[in-house]
Amino acid sequence: MTDQKTLFDTIGGANKVDELVDRFYDLMALEEALADLRAMHPSDLSSSREKLKLFLTGWMGGPDIYSPKYGHPMLRARHLPFKIGIKERNQWLACMYQALEDCNIEGALADRLHESFFNTADWMRNQPN
């Protein structure tokens, strides 16, 4: 047995993931500086919220609840229809980093998530700039 906790456990489980995702989408809808990012999403964000909650749960080491419902995440393939360059990546990151802060996710955990989110968001880019 290992005593290592997953990111999912460390962050506080499903309730904290739900809080983080809800804050992320609330910010996206409220902040004028994130209008381009918001425009890439459907007018009703309920499906986007659900999918990100399910995905992040598994991505952080919690139960795999995304794949049984939606299939393999195929992140890059699912996002190819959208222009994702540096501006869009940075808007997504700004929104997620603010959501982390607003949800009181700090210190080493926040640092680890910042790095992981950056790497994933940068990998999603399909435009040179």
Give me the pLDDT at residue 2, please. 56
Contact indicator for 105, 65 with CB cutoff of 8 Å: no
Q: Which domain holds residue 75?
A: 9-123
In a domain, 3, yes or no: no
Query: 30-66, pLDDT tens digit by residue?
Result: 999 999 999 999 999 999 999 999 999 999 999 999 9
74 in a domain, yes or no? yes
Under 8 Å between Cβ of 100 and 20:
yes
Instruction: Output the pLDDT for position 3.
Output: 66
Nearest to 76 by CA among 37, 36, 46, 121: 121
Q: Which of 83, 114, 91 is nearest to 31 (CA)?
A: 91
Residue 75 lies inside a defined structural domain of this protein: yes
**From first to last of its 129 residues, what are the pLDDT tens digits of the chain?**
556 899 999 999 999 999 999 999 999 999 999 999 999 999 999 999 999 999 999 999 999 999 999 999 999 999 989 999 999 999 999 999 999 999 999 999 999 999 999 999 999 999 988
Q: Report the pLDDT value the prediction gives residue 129, as an integer from 0 to 100.
A: 86
Which CATH number is 63's domain given? 1.10.490.10
Q: Quick check: is 128 in a domain?
A: no
The domain tally of the chain equals 1
35 part of a folded domain: yes
Inter-residue contact 28 to 37 (CB < 8 Å): yes
CB atoms under 10 Å from CB of 1, counted, come to: 3
| pLDDT for the residue 4 | 81
pLDDT of 127: 93
